Amino acid sequence: MKESATYQAILDEGRIEGRAEGAVQGAVQASKKILLALGTKRYGMPSARNLSAIEAITSVSRLEQLVTRLDDVATWDDLLSS
């Protein structure tokens, strides 16, 4: 069975999906790291509530949006409220 073309195709598909999922997770983590570094420099350490809100974000585009808004707001609360 392990030598069958169908079995190998299923394994290959799983590997491709796993790599894609890993790439997305890596991009999310990198975006969070950037947001936290720049936000901490501007606003100070985020509260536990704000940190939890950031950790709950799973969208790279949402994290990028927050990074671009860092100069437009005055606090973590303002940044995360929109």
Does pTM surpass 0.75? Answer: no
DSSP 35-77: HHHHHHHHH-SPPHHHHHHHHH---HHHHHHHHHTGGG-SSHH
Give the tens place of pLDDT for each residue, 8-46.
566 556 666 666 576 678 899 999 999 999 999 999 999
Task: Say if residue 50's pLDDT is above 70.
Answer: yes
Give the tens place of pLDDT for each residue, 7-16.
656 655 666 6
Determine the structural domain holding residue 25 and report its residue range.
5-80
Q: How many domains in the chain?
A: 1
**Predicted local distance difference test score (pLDDT) of residue 40:** 98
Give the tens place of pLDDT for each residue, 59-78.
999 999 999 999 999 999 99
Task: Say if residue 53's pLDDT is above 90.
Answer: yes
